[in-house]
Structure 1
Amino acid sequence: MRRVVLFCHRHAGWVIAAWLVVLVGLTLADRALGSDYRDTVNLPASDSSRAQDLLSQVQGGVQAGDSERIVFATSRGSVTDAQIRARIDPMLARVAGLPHVTQVISPYSPQGQPQVAGNGRVAFATVSYSAGANKVTTGQARQLVDVARSAGQSGLTVEVSGQVAMRASPPSLGGAYIGLLAAAVVLLVTFGSLFSMLMPVLTAAVSVGSGVAVVGLLTHVMNVAQVSPQITALMGLGVGVDYALFIVTRYRQGIKAGRTPEDALGAAAVTSGRSVLFAGLTVCVALLGMFTVRLNFLYGIAIGSSVAVLLTMLAALTLLPALLRVIGKRVLSRRERRRLADGRPQAEQEGRPQAGREGRPQAEQDGRAQAEREGRPRAEKEGRAWSRWARAIIGRPVTSTLATVAAIVLLALPLLSMRLGISDAGLDPKGSTTRAAYDLLAEGFGPGYTGPLVITGRMDRTGAREAVQGLAAGLAHHDDVARVPPAVFAPARDGGTVAVLTVYPASSPQDEATADLVRDLRARVIPQATDGTGTRLYVGGTTAVDVDFSQALTDRLPLFIATVVGISFILLTIVFRSLLVPLTAALMNLLAAGAAFGILTAVFEWGWAGSLIGVDRTGPIEPYLPVLLFAGLFGLSMDYEVFLVGRIQEEWHRLRDNRAAVVRGLAATGRTITAAAIIMVLVFASFVMGGNRVVKIAGLGLASAVLLDAVVIRSLLVPAVMALLGRSNWWLPRWLGRALPTLSLEEEPTGADAPVAAEPAPVGR
Structure 2
Amino acid sequence: MHGQHDDRFHRAMARLGGWCADRPATVLAAWSLLAVILVGAALSLGRPVDNDVALPGSDAQAARDLLDRVPGEDGTSGQLVVHAAAGRLDEPARQQALAQARTAIAAVPGVASVSGVSTGEGTLGPDGRTGYLAVQLDMPPREVDRELSWDISDAAAPARDAGLEVVPGGVLASAAERGGAKTSELLGLAVAAVVLLLAFGGVVAASVPLVTALFALACAISAVGLAGHLTAVPTVAGTLATMIGLGVGIDYALFLVTRYRRLLADGVEVRAAVTRSVATSGSAVVFAGATVVIALAGLAVAGVPVLGTLGWTTGLVVTVAVAGAVTLLPALLALLGSRIDRLRIRRSGGGAGTGWARQADRVTRRPWRWAALAALLLAVITAPALDLRLGQVDAGDNPVGSDSRRSFDLLAEGFGPGVNGPLTVVAALAPPATDAADSRLTTLTRELTATEGVATVTPPRLGEDGGTARFTVRPDTAPSDPATADLVRKLRTTSVTGAEVHVGGTTATRVDLADRIGQRMPWVIAVVVGLSTVLLYAAFRAPVVAVKAAVMNLVSVGAAYGVLTAVFAWGWGVELTGLTGPVPVESYLPMMLFALLFGLSMDYEVFLLTAVRESWQRTRDNRTSVREGLAGTGQVITCAALIMITVFASFVLHTDPVIKMFGLGMAVAVAVDATIIRGLLVPATMALLGRANWWRPGGCRRDNTKQYRADPAGVSTGASQR
TM-score > 0.5 by shorter chain:
yes
Tell me, in whole angstroms, the C-alpha distance in 2 between the residues paired with 1:600 and 1:72: 36
Tell me, in whole angstroms, the C-alpha distance in 1 between the residues paired with 2:166 and 2:304: 36
Tell me, in whole angstroms, the C-alpha distance in 1 between the residues paired with 2:346 and 2:489: 70
Change in Cα spacing, 1:13 to 1:107, as seen in structure 2 (3 Å) is closer
Tell me, in whole angstroms, the C-alpha distance in 2 between the residues paired with 1:306 and 1:712: 28
- Greater CA drift, 725-734 or 619-628: 619-628
Partner residue in 1 for 2:88? 78
Change in Cα spacing, 1:466 to 1:239, as seen in structure 2 (3 Å) is same
Change in Cα spacing, 1:225 to 1:163, as seen in structure 2 (3 Å) is same
Partner residue in 1 for 2:554? 590
- Greater CA drift, 131-140 or 224-233: 131-140
Partner residue in 2 for 1:54? 66
- Pairing partner for 1:671 from 631, 635, 639: 635
Structure 1 residue runs without a partner (length 5+): 339-345, 347-378, 756-765
Partner residue in 2 for 1:107? 117
Structure 2 residue runs without a partner (length 5+): 1-12
Change in Cα spacing, 1:136 to 1:12, as seen in structure 2 (3 Å) is closer
Change in Cα spacing, 1:460 to 1:334, as seen in structure 2 (3 Å) is closer
Change in Cα spacing, 1:469 to 1:211, as seen in structure 2 (3 Å) is same
Conserved? CA contact 2:193–2:207, under 8 Å:
yes
SS in 2 for 1:158: strand
Tell me, in whole angstroms, the C-alpha distance in 1 between the residues paired with 2:275 and 2:686: 29
Tell me, in whole angstroms, the C-alpha distance in 2 between the residues paired with 1:192 and 1:573: 37
Partner residue in 2 for 1:556? 520
Tell me, in whole angstroms, the C-alpha distance in 1 between the residues paired with 2:710 and 2:64: 57
Conserved? CA contact 2:202–2:346, under 8 Å:
no
Q: CA deviation at 1:452?
A: 1.3
Partner residue in 2 for 1:304? 313
Q: CA deviation at 1:722?
A: 0.9
Partner residue in 2 for 1:651? 615
Q: CA deviation at 1:102?
A: 6.1
Tell me, in whole angstroms, the C-alpha distance in 2 between the residues paired with 1:729 and 1:193: 39
SS in 2 for 1:753: coil
Tell me, in whole angstroms, the C-alpha distance in 2 between the residues paired with 1:334 and 1:49: 60
SS in 2 for 1:431: coil
Matches within 5 A, 1:158-307: 158-174=166-182, 175-307=184-316
- Pairing partner for 1:482 from 435, 441, 455: 455
Partner residue in 1 for 2:374? 404
SS in 1 for 2:680: helix
Counterpart AA for 1:724 = L
- Pairing partner for 1:116 from 105, 115, 124: 124
Tell me, in whole angstroms, the C-alpha distance in 1 between the residues paired with 2:432 and 2:32: 69
Q: CA deviation at 1:129?
A: 5.7
Q: Which has the larger radius of gyration?
A: 1
Counterpart AA for 1:489 = R
- Pairing partner for 2:443 from 470, 479, 485: 470
Conserved? CA contact 1:272–1:643, under 8 Å:
no
Partner residue in 2 for 1:568? 532
Tell me, in whole angstroms, the C-alpha distance in 1 between the residues paired with 2:528 and 2:517: 15
Tell me, in whole angstroms, the C-alpha distance in 2 between the residues paired with 1:703 and 1:421: 22
Q: CA deviation at 1:137?
A: 5.3
2:22 counterpart of 1:13? no
2:718 counterpart of 1:753? yes
- Pairing partner for 2:100 from 90, 101, 114: 90
Change in Cα spacing, 1:702 to 1:396, as seen in structure 2 (3 Å) is same
Tell me, in whole angstroms, the C-alpha distance in 2 between the residues paired with 1:752 and 1:89: 79
* Cα deviations by residue, 1:31-86 (Å, 9 ceiling, x for unpaired): 12222222232223222222223333223x33x65444432110111111112111
Q: Quick one: percent identity of the two aligned structures?
A: 39
* Cα deviations by residue, 1:428-463 (Å, 9 ceiling, x for unpaired): 343332211110011122211111112121444489
- Greater CA drift, 505-514 or 472-481: 472-481
Matches within 5 A, 1:355-394: 380-394=350-364
Change in Cα spacing, 1:137 to 1:252, as seen in structure 2 (3 Å) is closer
Counterpart AA for 2:98 = I
Tell me, in whole angstroms, the C-alpha distance in 1 between the residues paired with 2:707 and 2:600: 20
Tell me, in whole angstroms, the C-alpha distance in 1 between the residues paired with 2:373 and 2:265: 38
Conserved? CA contact 1:607–1:615, under 8 Å:
no
- Greater CA drift, 221-230 or 131-140: 131-140
Counterpart AA for 2:28 = I
Conserved? CA contact 1:398–1:724, under 8 Å:
yes
Conserved? CA contact 2:113–2:136, under 8 Å:
yes
Change in Cα spacing, 1:604 to 1:249, as seen in structure 2 (3 Å) is same
* Cα deviations by residue, 1:631-668 (Å, 9 ceiling, x for unpaired): 21111112101111111111111111111000000000
Counterpart AA for 2:240 = I
- Greater CA drift, 245-254 or 135-144: 135-144
* Cα deviations by residue, 1:687-745 (Å, 9 ceiling, x for unpaired): 2212122222111111111111112212221111111111111112139989x9x9974
**Residues paired across the two proteins, number:** 700
- Greater CA drift, 50-59 or 714-723: 50-59
Conserved? CA contact 2:123–2:131, under 8 Å:
yes
CA RMSD of aligned residues (A): 3.0
Conserved? CA contact 1:148–1:160, under 8 Å:
no
2:155 counterpart of 1:147? yes
- Pairing partner for 2:602 from 615, 638, 646: 638
- Greater CA drift, 23-32 or 465-474: 465-474
- Greater CA drift, 456-465 or 27-36: 456-465
Partner residue in 1 for 2:5? none
- Pairing partner for 1:518 from 488, 491, 507: 488
- Greater CA drift, 413-422 or 388-397: 413-422
Partner residue in 2 for 1:581? 545
TM-score under structure 1 normalisation? Answer: 0.85
SS in 2 for 1:455: strand
Change in Cα spacing, 1:401 to 1:52, as seen in structure 2 (3 Å) is same
Counterpart AA for 1:79 = L
SS in 2 for 1:152: helix
Tell me, in whole angstroms, the C-alpha distance in 2 between the residues paired with 1:75 and 1:151: 13
Tell me, in whole angstroms, the C-alpha distance in 1 between the residues paired with 2:342 and 2:117: 71
- Greater CA drift, 720-729 or 83-92: 83-92
SS in 2 for 1:608: coil
Tell me, in whole angstroms, the C-alpha distance in 1 between the residues paired with 2:346 and 2:124: 76
Counterpart AA for 2:296 = L
Partner residue in 2 for 1:354? none
Tell me, in whole angstroms, the C-alpha distance in 1 between the residues paired with 2:141 and 2:554: 37
Counterpart AA for 1:157 = E
Tell me, in whole angstroms, the C-alpha distance in 1 between the residues paired with 2:410 and 2:151: 21
Change in Cα spacing, 1:691 to 1:153, as seen in structure 2 (3 Å) is farther
Partner residue in 1 for 2:466? 496
Conserved? CA contact 1:400–1:720, under 8 Å:
yes
Change in Cα spacing, 1:427 to 1:146, as seen in structure 2 (3 Å) is farther
Q: CA deviation at 1:131?
A: 6.5
Conserved? CA contact 2:50–2:232, under 8 Å:
yes
TM-score under structure 2 normalisation? Answer: 0.90
SS in 2 for 1:155: coil
Partner residue in 1 for 2:477? 507
Conserved? CA contact 2:169–2:404, under 8 Å:
yes
Partner residue in 1 for 2:415? 445
Change in Cα spacing, 1:81 to 1:736, as seen in structure 2 (3 Å) is farther
